[in-house]
A and B are shown apart, each in its own frame.
Chain A
């Protein structure tokens, strides 16, 4: 069975600082990995996804994530946080058959002025 662990339910950074949101996955086969963002009272929006084409994946809004098989990690980063980045971020893993997603518990990102 696949699972996802997001370390840190809350992360606070200052505007302009580096954003690092951690995600570790458990999968018996090479997975598909996703990062979604959820703004208050909204659904989920895809930030980026890993499908084995490249280990460094660039997404929208300046976010990127690096797949590290040896560490079973897929951490999300952004060089400089904006106030508009404040939201809930979810890491998810997909199987190699079918496309149902298993989500982590989420990390709430707060950006201080």
Chain B
């Protein structure tokens, strides 16, 4: 049973560039959430996708956008990168949007912005 997978594992970009991160959910899951984990901090919720629509969004600017495909995989796009966007980006998948439903996390993509 394949778990949550993310690509790439590491990425280096410069300020002002754009980046796309990818996530494939755990088999059987249809909901994908994205989190940003800065060094030494807990993950912060960015947004959540279900049925190819953004359902919930955390306190992140519009530079952060996403997409969900018919096969439930998802992309996170960040435009006009800032140094402060350097972080571990975690994707989590779950079955539906029900409260209390467990989220399963991938290994993350570590983004460094120079």
How many residue pairs, one in A and one in B, have C-beta atoms under 8 Å apart?
A: 69
Closest partner residue, chain A, to B31 (CB atom): A99
Residues of chain A within 8 A of B98, CB atoms compared: 99
Known A44-B105, A45-B105; judge A94-B100 contact (CB<8 A): yes
Asked if B101 contacts A99 (CB within 8 A), the reply is yes
Binary contact track B21-43/A, C-beta < 8 Å → 1, others 0: 00000000001010100001111
Give Cα distance in the complex from A51 to B101, angstroms.
9
Asked if A43 contacts B106 (CB within 8 A), the reply is yes
Closest partner residue, chain A, to B104 (CB atom): A46
Taking the nearest CB of chain A, how far is it from the CB of B107, in angstroms? Answer: 4
Give Cα distance in the complex from A49 to B92, angstroms.
16
Q: Of residues 33 to 84 in A, which have CB atoms within 8 Å of B's CB atoms?
A: 34, 36, 41-46, 49, 51
Is the CB of B73 closer than 8 A to any CB of chain A? no
Asked if A100 contacts B42 (CB within 8 A), the reply is no
Residues of B within 8 A of A (CB): 4, 31, 33, 35, 40-45, 48, 55-56, 58, 90, 92, 94, 97-108
